[in-house]
Amino acid sequence: MSYLSSILKRCENMAFSELIGQNEAKERLGASLLSEPGHAFLLVGPAGVGKKTLAREFAKGLLCSHPTKDGGCGKCPNCTYISAGTHPDYKELLLPSGEKNIKVADVRSKILSDVGIMSQIAERKVYLIDADGLAEEGQNALLKTLEEPPKHVVFLLTVSDESKLLPTILSRTVSVRLLPNKEEEVYEVLRKRNEELSEEDAKLYAKFSNGVIGYALGLSESNWLISDWEEVSDLILRLPEISRTELLTDVYNFFDEEREHFPDILSLMSMVYDEMAICATVPDSPCLHGEQKKDKMVTVIKQNHFDAAKIAKCNAILTTAQKAFKANGNFEMIVCRMLLALKKENSNG
Ligand SMILES: [Zn+2]
């Protein structure tokens, strides 16, 4: 089981109100539990934002004998079975790990040939389908059933890139949008899930994840972000005094070793400059760095006359490097040019 799906499994006993954020989506789904829900919903949002977690909770509400607008009651046999992952009227069709697409044969055998069979325990049958895994052929196979589903069937599709869906799929489903969470919400989830995580590290993960909880949780399981963050913030603070030779050997080697994370490292560097911008204007503001590093930051800002204009130029240098990397430019040239340009910008008075 992948890390993310193990997190999702752990979420299965939550009611809507226990899922952090996504209030609008929860309200819409909750309201439809109390009326006659439609036959096909499409949960749209960035990967890792919690679409499947919410869809599972909604499925529980759809199958539950006594649903409220907060989802399933959590006590009836339907809720118990779905929490245990054994409800006979609930099926998931997900992209198998390592595969590019869900096989059309699986769409046929697991969904199309199953929808006509009556439910066993609940009044409905619910199918959760990872539509990101459906190529055009798979979508076409599903289309007819989606157009005229049996009365007892509800489809829950999740997708991060809806532009890959056929217009006919989009027009047959009710879209429910999940937005990235607020930084504080991601922070809250991280601290709840992992009590050993320090306040400082949780803040960094929350900031870096752009509001995507699944991504933040994945980051917090590995070490690279924290160590690279330390490395680049030290580097930026040392830039004015670092020699050109060191820059083009040791420092370059660090970038070369972390090549696979290069876009992330550039984002981290940009976060350091953002911190410097805040620190330059409001020296007392809270800082992602510890106190000791913050003192050093204040000194560097003063000595090298860092101001908003200078920081904007540094960020522009990072953007240029980011674009060149995306366009498959020569890596060594991109990094060395960037480092020299940053050194020049960071050093002059
Ligand atoms: Zn229930």
Residues 15 and 110: beta-carbon distance below 8 Å: no
Confidence of residue 223 (pLDDT cuts 50, 70, 90): confident
- What pLDDT does residue 7 have? 43
Task: Write out pLDDT tens, residues 29-62.
Answer: 999 999 888 899 999 999 889 999 999 999 999 9
Which CATH number is 3-177 given?
3.40.50.300
Residue 274 tokens, joined: 């953002």
Q: How far is the CA of 309 from the centre of ligand 1 (A)?
A: 58
Q: How far is the CA of 20 from the centre of ligand 1 (A)?
A: 21
- What pLDDT does residue 89 have? 97
Question: What DSSP designation does 115 have?
Answer: T
Q: How far is the CA of 5 from the centre of ligand 1 (A)?
A: 23
Q: How far is the CA of 95 from the centre of ligand 1 (A)?
A: 28
Q: What does the domain layout of the chain look like in residue ranges? A: 3-177, 182-221, 223-347
Query: Is 12 a residue whose pLDDT tops 50?
Result: no
List all residues 6 or more positions away from 209 whose beta carbon is below 8 Å from its beta carbon. 186, 215, 216, 219
* Span 216-226, average pLDDT: 88
* Span 221-228, average pLDDT: 87
* Span 247-272, average pLDDT: 93
* Mean pLDDT comparison of 193-197, 242-246, 273-277, highest-scoring range: 242-246
Q: To the nearest whole percent, how much of the chain has pLDDT over 70?
A: 94
Instruction: Give, in order, the Cα–Cα distances in Å from 184 to each of 140, 265, 290.
Output: 41, 23, 19
Confidence of residue 4 (pLDDT cuts 50, 70, 90): very low
pTM for the whole structure = 0.76
Considering the chain, what is the average pLDDT of its residues?
A: 90
* Span 201-207, average pLDDT: 91
* Span 240-245, average pLDDT: 92
Residues 267 and 233: beta-carbon distance below 8 Å: no
Q: How far is the CA of 272 from the centre of ligand 1 (A)?
A: 48
